[in-house]
A and B are shown apart, each in its own frame.
Chain A
């Protein structure tokens, strides 16, 4: 049914577009402390990029390249990074204390730990939503009978 993905046009457009979507997601995450956006939105956009790839190239490609094991690992990594930032802040004074230099100068490296937290949350949300999509679409109940035949 959807094992081989979509048509040639969709695949070629996906090849062209996914890099720009990922770049936009990286921009939204990294500049979350200066412009509207942040970790959650950027993570969802990055997950959109992966979901588009999975939808366009089908289940076989998803099994090879974008696995649910990878989604789990990145999910845990993002959560752990966020928690490690919080705990290092605890070491420096209070839980979630802003331990890095954080003077406001409208630069990319300005707000101390906030960009680090944004990156952690972005990784975590992207992995979460991609994992939910893979769990809902790849392991579907109707698939068992389909593959036995």
Chain B
């Protein structure tokens, strides 16, 4: 796992730079493209670390979200975001950044070295995935057999989100229909 580290650090730096550009850019289109660039870097990181499932998911979701954001957010009338930066916000952000760095220095001291995680829970899953479920892809075996209940909860969350989106966004369309239909006698 250590042989990918020389490639990994520039990719992580690229992602950090893309995220900072996404925050600092004044144009919404530049922000969306920078977020997508960070997502592409993350997909390559997943691929290098041996997680092709996550890499495919990341690429596809990033493409869809970029289409969504460009279609929905950027095609408004006012696509520039120009607002003076508040000094209190900057100071608070820097203070919390320092706190996070200090805390993570203490936290990372307790962690296992990179690439050698402590697998107390997940080792039986990996060992028994093929014999117990018959699925050659261990990720799918965990998702849909060992932890299928979690996947059901995940599907429920997506369902609730889409119902909420319909409830919020459908209002405009329905009001338009009602307004057009009831125009003569209302």
Contacts and interface: CB of A to CB of B under 8 A. Distances in A.
A-B interaction: yes
Give the dominant DSSP class at B's interface.
helix
Contacts of A143: 172, 176
B135 interface: yes
Contacts of A86: 148, 152
Contacts of B135: 33-34, 102, 104, 110-111, 114
Contacts of A106: 136
Given A48-B63, A86-B152, A95-B149, A38 B166 contact: no
Given A37-B53, A48-B64, A125-B158, A136 B71 contact: yes
Contacts, number: 152
Contacts of B141: 33, 111, 114
Contact of A128 (B143, B145, B159): B159
Nearest to A32: B140
Give the dominant DSSP class at A's interface.
helix
A31 B152 CA distance: 20
Interface residues of B, number: 45
B130 interface: yes
- Number of contact residues on A: which range applies? 35 or more
A32 B63 CA distance: 20
Interface of B: 52-53, 55-57, 60-61, 63-64, 67-68, 71-72, 76, 130-131, 133-137, 139-141, 143-145, 148-149, 151-152, 155-156, 158-159, 161-162, 165-166, 169-170, 172-173, 175-176
Interface of A: 28, 32-41, 44-45, 47-48, 51, 55, 68, 72, 75, 79, 82-83, 86, 95-96, 98, 102-106, 110-114, 117-118, 121, 124-125, 128-129, 131-133, 135-144, 147
Given A128-B158, A144-B172, A147-B176, 12 more contacts: A32-B140, A33-B137, A33-B144, A34-B137, A38-B53, A39-B144, A44-B60, A79-B156, A111-B133, A133-B68, A133-B71, A144-B175
